[in-house]
Amino acid sequence: MRLPIVAGNWKMYKTPAEAAEFAQAIIAPLLPFEGVERVVCPPFVAIPAVAAALRGTPIKVGAQNVHQEPHGAYTGSVSVPMLQGLVEYVIIGHSEVRQYQGETDAMINAKAKALLAGGLKPIIAVGESLAQREEGQTVAHVGGQVRAAFEGIPPESLANVVIAYEPIWAIGTGRNASPEDANQTIKEAVRDVLAELYGAAAAETVRIQYGGSVKPENMLAYMSMPEIDGALVGGASLKVNDFTALVRLAQEAKGA
Protein backbone atom coordinates (compact mmCIF):
# COMPACT_ATOMS: atom_id res chain seq x y z
CA MET A 1 0.00 0.00 0.00
CA ARG A 2 1.52 3.31 -1.11
CA LEU A 3 0.83 6.27 1.20
CA PRO A 4 -0.90 8.94 -0.91
CA ILE A 5 0.96 12.26 -1.09
CA VAL A 6 -0.60 15.62 -1.92
CA ALA A 7 1.89 18.45 -2.39
CA GLY A 8 1.18 22.11 -3.03
CA ASN A 9 3.66 23.79 -5.36
CA TRP A 10 3.12 27.46 -4.60
CA LYS A 11 5.39 28.58 -7.46
CA MET A 12 6.10 32.36 -7.28
CA TYR A 13 3.18 33.15 -5.00
CA LYS A 14 3.00 34.36 -1.38
CA THR A 15 5.38 36.62 0.52
CA PRO A 16 6.97 35.22 3.70
CA ALA A 17 4.25 36.88 5.78
CA GLU A 18 1.44 35.54 3.58
CA ALA A 19 3.04 32.11 3.55
CA ALA A 20 3.33 31.95 7.34
CA GLU A 21 -0.30 33.03 7.71
CA PHE A 22 -1.41 30.38 5.22
CA ALA A 23 0.64 27.70 6.98
CA GLN A 24 -1.01 28.54 10.31
CA ALA A 25 -4.42 28.43 8.66
CA ILE A 26 -4.06 24.95 7.15
CA ILE A 27 -2.87 23.14 10.28
CA ALA A 28 -6.26 22.50 11.89
CA PRO A 29 -8.17 21.66 8.67
CA LEU A 30 -5.48 19.21 7.48
CA LEU A 31 -4.92 17.51 10.81
CA PRO A 32 -7.60 14.81 10.50
CA PHE A 33 -6.31 13.34 7.23
CA GLU A 34 -3.60 11.07 8.59
CA GLY A 35 -3.88 8.68 5.64
CA VAL A 36 -2.36 11.28 3.31
CA GLU A 37 1.11 12.78 3.38
CA ARG A 38 0.58 16.56 3.24
CA VAL A 39 3.32 18.82 1.85
CA VAL A 40 3.58 22.51 1.00
CA CYS A 41 6.37 23.92 -1.18
CA PRO A 42 6.74 27.69 -0.68
CA PRO A 43 9.22 30.00 -2.44
CA PHE A 44 12.72 29.82 -0.91
CA VAL A 45 12.49 33.01 1.15
CA ALA A 46 9.24 31.86 2.78
CA ILE A 47 10.57 28.42 3.75
CA PRO A 48 11.97 29.39 7.18
CA ALA A 49 8.70 31.03 8.24
CA VAL A 50 6.58 28.14 6.96
CA ALA A 51 8.89 25.55 8.52
CA ALA A 52 8.62 27.36 11.86
CA ALA A 53 4.83 27.54 11.62
CA LEU A 54 4.52 23.84 10.78
CA ARG A 55 7.16 22.48 13.17
CA GLY A 56 5.65 19.79 15.38
CA THR A 57 2.71 19.23 13.00
CA PRO A 58 2.40 16.37 10.50
CA ILE A 59 2.38 18.84 7.60
CA LYS A 60 5.66 18.78 5.75
CA VAL A 61 7.61 21.41 3.87
CA GLY A 62 9.26 21.15 0.47
CA ALA A 63 11.36 23.41 -1.74
CA GLN A 64 10.71 24.08 -5.42
CA ASN A 65 14.27 23.57 -6.68
CA VAL A 66 17.86 23.12 -5.51
CA HIS A 67 21.37 23.41 -6.94
CA GLN A 68 23.28 20.18 -7.38
CA GLU A 69 26.51 21.54 -5.83
CA PRO A 70 26.80 22.01 -2.06
CA HIS A 71 28.34 25.51 -2.40
CA GLY A 72 30.16 27.66 -4.92
CA ALA A 73 29.91 30.69 -7.15
CA TYR A 74 26.34 30.07 -8.33
CA THR A 75 24.54 33.39 -7.98
CA GLY A 76 20.91 33.06 -7.01
CA SER A 77 21.12 29.38 -6.13
CA VAL A 78 20.31 27.40 -3.00
CA SER A 79 21.98 24.11 -2.04
CA VAL A 80 21.11 20.93 -0.18
CA PRO A 81 23.00 21.88 3.01
CA MET A 82 21.05 25.18 3.09
CA LEU A 83 17.74 23.32 2.99
CA GLN A 84 18.58 20.59 5.49
CA GLY A 85 16.55 20.97 8.66
CA LEU A 86 14.01 23.19 6.89
CA VAL A 87 12.44 20.88 4.29
CA GLU A 88 11.90 17.18 3.75
CA TYR A 89 11.03 17.28 0.02
CA VAL A 90 12.41 19.15 -2.99
CA ILE A 91 10.74 19.36 -6.39
CA ILE A 92 13.22 18.90 -9.25
CA GLY A 93 12.61 18.60 -12.97
CA HIS A 94 9.56 20.85 -13.02
CA SER A 95 8.75 21.77 -16.61
CA GLU A 96 8.88 25.49 -15.77
CA VAL A 97 12.45 25.10 -14.47
CA ARG A 98 13.42 22.91 -17.43
CA GLN A 99 11.96 25.50 -19.81
CA TYR A 100 12.86 28.86 -18.24
CA GLN A 101 16.07 27.97 -16.42
CA GLY A 102 17.54 25.39 -18.79
CA GLU A 103 17.49 22.54 -16.29
CA THR A 104 18.66 19.42 -18.14
CA ASP A 105 18.11 15.72 -17.49
CA ALA A 106 21.75 15.47 -16.36
CA MET A 107 21.25 18.29 -13.85
CA ILE A 108 18.08 16.65 -12.56
CA ASN A 109 19.95 13.39 -12.05
CA ALA A 110 22.76 15.22 -10.22
CA LYS A 111 20.20 17.06 -8.06
CA ALA A 112 18.45 13.80 -7.20
CA LYS A 113 21.74 12.26 -6.09
CA ALA A 114 22.70 15.34 -4.06
CA LEU A 115 19.31 15.38 -2.33
CA LEU A 116 19.37 11.67 -1.48
CA ALA A 117 22.95 11.91 -0.20
CA GLY A 118 21.84 14.82 1.99
CA GLY A 119 18.83 12.97 3.41
CA LEU A 120 16.23 14.97 1.46
CA LYS A 121 13.56 13.49 -0.79
CA PRO A 122 13.25 14.48 -4.44
CA ILE A 123 9.87 14.90 -6.11
CA ILE A 124 10.97 14.35 -9.71
CA ALA A 125 8.64 15.99 -12.23
CA VAL A 126 8.34 14.62 -15.75
CA GLY A 127 5.96 15.33 -18.60
CA GLU A 128 5.52 15.82 -22.32
CA SER A 129 4.72 18.92 -24.37
CA LEU A 130 1.63 19.20 -26.53
CA ALA A 131 3.73 18.73 -29.68
CA GLN A 132 5.31 15.56 -28.27
CA ARG A 133 1.88 14.23 -27.35
CA GLU A 134 0.47 14.97 -30.79
CA GLU A 135 3.44 13.23 -32.42
CA GLY A 136 2.83 10.12 -30.34
CA GLN A 137 6.08 10.63 -28.41
CA THR A 138 4.62 10.76 -24.90
CA VAL A 139 5.79 7.39 -23.61
CA ALA A 140 9.20 7.65 -25.26
CA HIS A 141 9.79 11.17 -23.96
CA VAL A 142 8.52 10.71 -20.40
CA GLY A 143 10.13 7.27 -20.16
CA GLY A 144 13.42 8.84 -21.26
CA GLN A 145 13.12 11.52 -18.57
CA VAL A 146 12.58 8.81 -15.96
CA ARG A 147 15.56 6.76 -17.16
CA ALA A 148 17.81 9.82 -17.12
CA ALA A 149 16.67 10.97 -13.68
CA PHE A 150 17.33 7.54 -12.12
CA GLU A 151 20.73 6.91 -13.72
CA GLY A 152 22.95 5.54 -10.95
CA ILE A 153 20.29 5.80 -8.22
CA PRO A 154 20.42 2.59 -6.17
CA PRO A 155 17.27 0.57 -5.43
CA GLU A 156 17.43 1.31 -1.71
CA SER A 157 16.79 4.99 -2.48
CA LEU A 158 13.43 4.35 -4.16
CA ALA A 159 11.53 4.67 -0.88
CA ASN A 160 12.71 8.28 -0.67
CA VAL A 161 11.73 9.34 -4.18
CA VAL A 162 8.39 10.56 -5.49
CA ILE A 163 7.66 11.08 -9.19
CA ALA A 164 5.17 13.64 -10.47
CA TYR A 165 3.77 13.13 -13.95
CA GLU A 166 2.75 16.57 -15.20
CA PRO A 167 1.84 16.89 -18.87
CA ILE A 168 3.07 20.39 -19.77
CA TRP A 169 -0.05 21.20 -21.77
CA ALA A 170 -2.16 20.60 -18.65
CA ILE A 171 -0.26 22.92 -16.29
CA GLY A 172 -2.14 26.08 -15.37
CA THR A 173 -4.25 25.79 -18.49
CA GLY A 174 -7.41 24.29 -17.06
CA ARG A 175 -6.96 21.66 -19.74
CA ASN A 176 -6.30 18.51 -17.76
CA ALA A 177 -5.40 15.02 -18.91
CA SER A 178 -8.31 12.64 -18.45
CA PRO A 179 -7.84 10.44 -15.39
CA GLU A 180 -7.71 7.33 -17.58
CA ASP A 181 -5.13 8.90 -19.85
CA ALA A 182 -2.97 10.04 -16.91
CA ASN A 183 -3.24 6.59 -15.36
CA GLN A 184 -2.18 4.92 -18.61
CA THR A 185 0.79 7.22 -19.17
CA ILE A 186 1.93 6.79 -15.58
CA LYS A 187 1.77 3.04 -16.04
CA GLU A 188 3.56 2.86 -19.39
CA ALA A 189 6.00 5.75 -19.14
CA VAL A 190 6.85 5.69 -15.45
CA ARG A 191 6.00 2.50 -13.58
CA ASP A 192 6.91 0.12 -16.39
CA VAL A 193 10.22 1.94 -16.88
CA LEU A 194 10.95 1.70 -13.14
CA ALA A 195 10.11 -2.01 -13.38
CA GLU A 196 12.68 -2.38 -16.16
CA LEU A 197 15.29 -0.58 -14.08
CA TYR A 198 14.57 -2.03 -10.64
CA GLY A 199 12.18 -4.96 -11.08
CA ALA A 200 8.39 -5.06 -10.87
CA ALA A 201 8.14 -5.45 -7.10
CA ALA A 202 10.32 -2.40 -6.43
CA ALA A 203 8.45 -0.36 -9.03
CA GLU A 204 5.17 -1.09 -7.24
CA THR A 205 6.44 0.65 -4.12
CA VAL A 206 7.20 4.02 -5.76
CA ARG A 207 4.68 6.81 -5.34
CA ILE A 208 3.66 8.63 -8.52
CA GLN A 209 1.61 11.83 -8.47
CA TYR A 210 -0.41 13.43 -11.23
CA GLY A 211 -0.15 17.18 -11.72
CA GLY A 212 -1.80 19.65 -14.08
CA SER A 213 -4.98 21.62 -13.37
CA VAL A 214 -5.92 19.42 -10.40
CA LYS A 215 -8.79 20.95 -8.45
CA PRO A 216 -11.39 19.76 -5.95
CA GLU A 217 -13.84 19.05 -8.80
CA ASN A 218 -11.58 16.55 -10.57
CA MET A 219 -9.46 15.24 -7.67
CA LEU A 220 -11.63 12.25 -6.83
CA ALA A 221 -11.48 10.99 -10.40
CA TYR A 222 -7.67 11.11 -10.42
CA MET A 223 -7.34 9.58 -7.00
CA SER A 224 -9.62 6.71 -8.01
CA MET A 225 -7.04 5.59 -10.58
CA PRO A 226 -4.88 2.69 -9.41
CA GLU A 227 -1.55 4.08 -10.63
CA ILE A 228 -2.03 7.60 -9.24
CA ASP A 229 -0.81 8.01 -5.67
CA GLY A 230 -1.45 11.68 -5.10
CA ALA A 231 -1.21 15.07 -6.74
CA LEU A 232 1.27 17.89 -7.25
CA VAL A 233 -0.93 20.95 -7.30
CA GLY A 234 -0.26 24.54 -8.33
CA GLY A 235 -3.16 26.99 -8.39
CA ALA A 236 -5.59 25.05 -6.21
CA SER A 237 -2.98 24.65 -3.45
CA LEU A 238 -2.97 28.39 -2.77
CA LYS A 239 -6.37 28.47 -1.08
CA VAL A 240 -6.99 26.86 2.31
CA ASN A 241 -10.38 25.45 1.38
CA ASP A 242 -9.29 24.03 -1.94
CA PHE A 243 -6.09 22.48 -0.58
CA THR A 244 -8.01 20.96 2.31
CA ALA A 245 -10.59 19.54 -0.10
CA LEU A 246 -7.83 17.96 -2.21
CA VAL A 247 -6.33 16.24 0.82
CA ARG A 248 -9.74 15.08 2.03
CA LEU A 249 -10.58 13.65 -1.40
CA ALA A 250 -7.25 11.82 -1.56
CA GLN A 251 -8.01 10.20 1.77
CA GLU A 252 -11.56 9.32 0.70
CA ALA A 253 -10.48 7.79 -2.60
CA LYS A 254 -7.56 5.81 -1.26
CA GLY A 255 -9.58 4.59 1.71
CA ALA A 256 -6.67 5.21 4.03
Q: By the criterion CB under 6 A, which residues form the site for ligand 13P? A: 9, 94, 166, 171-172, 211-214, 232-236
> What do you get for the CA distance between the two ends of the chain, in Å?
9
CB of residue 94 to ligand 13P, shortest distance in Å? 6
Query: 37, 88, 128, 166: which is the annotated catalytic residue?
Result: 166
Cβ-closest position to ligand 13P: 234
- Residue closer to ligand 13P by CB (options 44, 198) is 44
Is 94 known to be catalytic? yes
Alpha-carbon distance of 104 to 211, in angstroms, equals 20
Q: Please tell me the total number of residues recorded for the chain in this structure.
A: 256
Write the DSSP assignment of 93-118 as a string of letters.
S-HHHHHHH---HHHHHHHHHHHHHT
- Closest CB 252 distance from ligand 13P, rounded Å: 20
Q: Which lies closer to ligand 13P via its Cβ, residue 186 or residue 236? A: 236
Q: Indicate which residue of 37, 88, 94, 103 is catalytic.
A: 94
Q: What is residue 63's three-state secondary structure?
A: strand
Instruction: Please list the residues that pair with 234 across neighbouring strands.
Output: none
Q: Which is nearer to ligand 13P, 186 or 198 (CB)?
A: 186
Other Cβ atoms within 10 Å of 181 Cβ, number: 15
State in angstroms the smallest separation of the CB of 87 from ligand 13P: 16
Residues carrying an active site annotation: 94, 166
